[in-house]
Structure 1
């Protein structure tokens, strides 16, 4: 940018400045600005070529042609007289005529830098490292520091001063562009420092995952930390807290832990659980032999009891898989696994875990009633904690107390180290040649082809194809059935079937095919092995069982039906009662309870019709009785007359004296043969 001095004015009194831009002195797109007795050319930047400079933007600037600036610095060309020059505008973190010098240095854990300075102000940019669980953020900040003594500490202070701070730790991260009284302080001038390094190179400590896929990695700039998921622990989460087996085989187990300190306010109980048993006491807190918090299994689900108030907390979870259980008291609520509300403040009696209480795992000692909580727990427990204090189990004698907070057991019984399953195959549960395989606290039977079921106790009959050709075999729990398809045809259907077979069934139209399948097919079934009376079949309600070639069959009394005569036929099902009558089912018959205006067996008559028929009945019944009586009298008279007449015709009747004399004379002689007697 040049100023051109023009030594003339215009006007009567030379008070008017001449516009020097009127003659357009700026070339190559330069912009002219009129000044007093001068003009100024603003030259274009030259986006497609060299920038222009000089008095009238008529000189190409070549000071940046050789690209002298380093580290992505911006080069600005200039013209001083006839000499082409340049200026490098350095980005953050670099300094020098060509931005060749780095101003960045890093401080690792425990390190710091001391600079002797007078009372001055310091401006610096630095990268701030913020640690939050497993996330770190890198930002640039400008900081103004007022120094009140001759020593400037960067990144930390000596330990005697560090102990007076809140964090008790120094800064970990990078500094750059440190200025003291507007003069750069370069790390190259520090000399060797063990905890101060040139540049700001940082290793990715969390990649690849150093936490064994069992925790969250936290990058600490010069190291890492693993926040392990339970039940894992250790620097790399490669260790796992030991599981403990309760009630192995047929034993009963429990463990008792005295509480050594108070757990005030919100308190939590958490553990890992693995079981196949439906019922059992998992955890209980007692004070003076009174339970105030109990966790137990019932029908495979988890329940929580606060004193005597019981609530269901989970669905079925005793399927042999390891599950995490967390119960927390928070602001008067009892939460299960942080989400589900089990008790509300209005439903719960408050409690505190205090020193002197006792925590029981897996059951209660002999003599204490644990049946109401399902008896002894059978399965595995792991990493049991009250808040962050672990109920620490050990076998034998403990050599040293664990590093983390823990309670040690006061006494325990039949608790095994590790998660050990029962030897479930030693009782040989698999039948019919099945092979037993042990899985944790259970077994699996590999059954032969013709048996199935948990213990291979169910025959699979149809595998051997016992039914005749043209029939279909159907397995039953205690046998099998052979299904035989037969045709039930009406006359029209028979004609259709005959016609269909004549023209080949495969050539049926779609509608004919549907008619053939829907209307003509039913099935007959018989089962094997045949059932036997009193062994496989017992008839009810007086039914008679009969053994036949196809097996036992029940012949039912009237009013009963079903395979075993177990069904009482509902005679009211057909709704026989008319006119609003109520049907009452009886054995093999029914009764109709009629409303007030109707009568009859089925409530079919009105009372008016019945009254109209009464006079006729009163006349007809006596007349009929009289007619029957007269007919009977006439018939008796005729019979007596006929008999008397038949007795008097062709019959000899001796006198009484003759009869008596004959009897006396004949008493001393032999009887005459019947054919020689007189008639």
Structure 2
């Protein structure tokens, strides 16, 4: 015999009930009895319900008479209830209010080549010889289609008859009958023979298997759970047996033995059956397996919240003391501080009733000072410093350029001043920047810049570097061919005599390079001059004059005046009389000569602007050179009005452009 603890179960309550045993009814929508005429109110939720009507009633509340309840529509007619009656929708072949009248389909003469027979709800046709079909509409041809069933082969005998050749296992006129193969079968052990097509099958009882049911079924292997509740299964011929464990009985060990039938619970105790055991539920003040002992814990002998247990053998009590107390009745305080060192990290242990307290050293916390306080959690290090947690404190590893307990101090790299040569220091994070005076460079202005690196001295002069400056030492008199050397700041200029050019006046200017000789003449170059050897019929400095002089022609003179200095070369005007066409035919661009000329004209500006070409041509003749108007940045001629009342002349001028050569 064994005894177990009391029962444990839970109830899943239907809608409308609650409590441990579902014994308490909850107020719900069915309490108002909304369903009538004997209907059943069925709860869906506490607030929703549906009415299950009694026979003969319908509607949400079952308050309407169901006239279809008596099934008044006959012959499979469909009934639709109405408020005071019903209506029937009849099946094909019937009519009438209750679908009771059979429709005579033969009145419509549906059979084309046969006799019509009216039937209940339908009709059938008896066809004349030589016709077939549901309405005898088709002429009968034997074997088209084949009437032979189950794979039989049809063979016509004459125009109205045929013969079927049946496959094995079938017989009959149309091979419609399956031959019964079960007579003389070999099925054993009470098996049932099931006929097939030209064969049969043995349907075995549950305890046998095989084609003829001759093999015993091992139920224990086929159904491992056939024996319940831990029983052992043993296979037998034609069956099996179960060997039950203690507390169970029955063919499959599914029945629990009632141990309370032979149990002896004392002193009014209640016996509860269990599997292979029972449990005695004692009355107050009693204890023990059979409730035969007085409960020594009833007087609460254990103190300080201890758990009292009664011995099921002799009825004495045993106190299970909580932590911090000891003794038979749990009245003695345990000195935890004397049992060892419960406080970690040099914490001071202080004994208290039933427990102890730890006074922690700096940097630690927790009931046993087991937690190291991470002082880095508050992010004490500034300016991206790295915090290192230490015993009872922290340490900041500062980024370069910072210092201090919290890396809060920006180190001034300008103390002392690292900049040289008068440089001005500007403090930066983890560094400095020097603003160097002119002539020095480098991180600390330590480098004197080489002002000679760009080779500023020309014409073979040697450069000597200074502080933010340089000095050019020129070679003696570099100018050739009588040129005059003009000294400048860090440079010099050669002023060449007429006929020579170049940086050092070393080039003899070729006055023939511009092809001044016209009309096929040959040019001979000299120093600062040239001479033209004219062909016969031409004369003049540049052989420009045709001996047959046309310059006296008034038409020719008007043409030259109109086309003078217009930017296009007119060879007819490219002569001395036409003042060389205002240099329009020159290959090389003209250059401005030094000097100025001031001419005052008593004429309206607009009138003068309309006569500038003849003016330039005439004044060119007078000065024996070509004259052009100076233009401004926009290419406009610099012609300005002036009145005597304005005083000093404005700074405008007309510059002569001498013809080269």
User: TM-score band, normalised by the shorter chain?
Assistant: under 0.3
Q: Which protein has greater RCO, CA pairs closer than 8 Å, 6+ apart?
A: 1
The structure carrying a bigger strand percent of its residues is 1
> Could you state the TM-score of these two structures normalised by the residue count of structure 2?
0.19
The structure carrying a bigger helix percent of its residues is 1
| Structure having the higher Rg | 2
